[in-house]
């Protein structure tokens, strides 16, 4: 699969799943634009090893104006976005009665509203070129719920609904929009949840195994590279009629 000539913007690509997907797309020849916080130089190096220095924009995706600035950067420096991977996301675990309101607002803004903003700003260019791939990293929590994750589950169900709407609005074009719904992937976002169990007294191995055993029948983590391979397939001509799908890769989680 050759993505030479295509520009891919992956939000939240300085870490975890986003970085894994960015690397797979870069390996296939795409020019990458990275986004996210933390060790930006390490992420750039991880992508640059496949041949091209990636672009980077540090937009905070909870801020609509910064998202608009990132999309202007993509248009002016790279001629627009052909492949948009809406990946950035955060988590907070707490019962609904005590869920901090500022965490609710941040999760809805970053995990859901940013997908609306990047997409609405990327679509005119995709329509002009009559080609585009919008890949939204939802979650199994876009399909089923877990307790104490109200904002995350609401946002991810919202992402799945938004994905279907965008797929219908672009159905007669060369643009497709789909969602990936990962189960547990061992990234900083999930390590935080393992660390919480360790802080409550579980030994590290037990905490990790218990997390998997509760939900993921394979008892193995999904990897960012595996998600990258699925994203790469969605970029192919073979996937041109895959539209509005919420595709789980979850070790059997939602089969139960
Ligand atoms: P991660 O914490 O490793 O990475 C999150 C990325 O988002 C980082 O690059 C971070 O800098 C960026 N980010 C966070 N807040 C941001 C903001 N306000 N503006 C811009 N960037 C921001 O997490 P991950 O596990 O790789 O998660 C990536 C996506 O996959 C998320 O949408 C998450 O909900 C989803 N997901 C993860 C899992 C899992 O098990 N790890 C499962 C299903 C879905």
pLDDT for 168: 99
Question: Ligand 1 centre from 6 Cα, in Å?
Answer: 23
- Give me the pLDDT at residue 189, please: 87
Residue 80 Cα to ligand 1 midpoint, Å, equals: 23
Q: Can you tell me which atom of ligand 1 is nearest the CA of 20?
A: 26
Whether residue 25 has pLDDT greater than 90: yes
Which strand (E) or helix (H) includes residue 151?
helix 150-169
CA distances from 37 to 24, 60, 91 (A): 20, 8, 15
133-156 tens-digit pLDDT: 999 999 999 999 999 999 999 999
Structure tokens at 168: 């219908």
Residues having CB within 6 Å of any atom of ligand 1: 12-18, 35-38, 60-62, 87-90, 110-111, 137, 139, 182, 184-185, 187-190
The pick from 17, 157, 179 for probing ligand 1's pocket by mutation, whose C-beta has the most ligand atoms within 8 angstroms, reads 17
CA of 110 to the centre of ligand 1 (A): 9
Centre of ligand 1 to C-alpha 113, Å, is 15
Say which residue the tokens 């997390």 belong to. Answer: 211
Q: Are 30 and 6 in contact (CB under 8 A)?
A: yes
Question: In the structure, what pLDDT confidence band is assigned to residue 203 with cuts at 50, 70 and 90?
Answer: very high
Average pLDDT, the chain: 97
The arithmetic mean of pLDDT across residues 14-40, rounded, is 98
Report the share of the chain in percent with pLDDT over 70: 100
Residues 24 and 89: beta-carbon distance below 8 Å: no
Mutate to test the pocket of ligand 1, among 23, 33, 65, 89 (most ligand atoms within 8 A of CB): 89
Q: What is the pLDDT of residue 183?
A: 98
pLDDT tens string 146-192: 999 999 999 999 999 999 999 999 999 999 999 999 999 999 989 99
Instruction: Confirm if 152 and 111 have CB atoms less than 8 A apart.
Output: yes
pLDDT of residue 98 exceeding 90: yes
**Which ligand 1 atom is the nearest neighbour of the CA of 43?**
9
Give 126's Cβ-side CA count (13 Å radius). Answer: 28
Out of 88, 106, 218, mutate this one to test ligand 1's pocket (max ligand atoms within 8 Å of CB): namely 88
Nearest CA to ligand 1 atom 33: 89
Q: How far is CA 238 from CA 30, 131, 242, in A?
A: 18, 14, 9
- Residue 1 scores a pLDDT above 90: no
Which pLDDT belongs to residue 234?
98
pLDDT of 236: 98
How far apart, in whole angstroms, are the C-alpha atoms of residue 54 and residue 72?
16
88 C-alpha to center of ligand 1: Å?
Answer: 4
What are the pLDDT digits (tens) for 48-96?
999 999 999 999 999 999 999 999 999 999 999 999 999 999 999 999 9
Mean pLDDT of the 219-231 span: 97
Helix (H, G, I), strand (E, B) or coil at 7: strand
- Whether 56 sits among the annotated catalytic residues: the reply is no
Nearest to 36, CA basis, from 20, 60, 52, 65: 60
Sheet of 175-182: strand order equals 55-57, 31-35, 7-10, 83-86, 132-137, 175-182, 246-249
């Amino acid at each position: 699969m050759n993505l030479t000539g295509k520009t891919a913007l992956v939000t939240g690509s300085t870490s975890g799943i986003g970085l894994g997907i960015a690397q797979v797309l870069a390996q296939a020849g795409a020019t990458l634009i990275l986004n996210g916080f933390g060790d930006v130089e390490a992420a750039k190096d991880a992508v640059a090893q496949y041949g091209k220095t990636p672009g980077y924009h540090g937009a905070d995706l909870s801020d609509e104006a910064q998202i608009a600035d990132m999309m202007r950067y993509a248009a002016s420096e790279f001629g627009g976005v052909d492949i948009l991977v809406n990946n950035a996301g955060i988590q907070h675990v707490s019962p609904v009665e005590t869920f901090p309101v500022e965490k609710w607002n941040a999760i809805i803004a970053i995990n859901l509203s940013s997908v609306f903003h990047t997409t609405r700003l990327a679509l005119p260019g995709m329509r002009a070129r009559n080609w585009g791939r919008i890949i939204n990293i939802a979650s199994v929590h876009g399909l089923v719920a877990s307790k104490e994750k109200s904002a995350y589950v609401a946002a991810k169900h919202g992402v799945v609904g938004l994905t279907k709407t965008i797929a219908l609005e672009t159905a007669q074009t060369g643009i497709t929009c789909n969602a990936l719904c990962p189960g547990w992937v061992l990234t900083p976002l999930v390590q935080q949840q393992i660390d919480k169990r360790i802080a409550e007294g579980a030994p590290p191995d037990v905490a990790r195994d218990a997390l998997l055993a509760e939900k993921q029948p394979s008892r193995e983590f999904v990897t960012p590279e595996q998600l990258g391979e699925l994203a790469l397939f969605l970029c192919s001509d073979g996937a041109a009629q895959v539209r509005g799908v919420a595709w789980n890769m979850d070790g059997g989680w939602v089969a139960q």
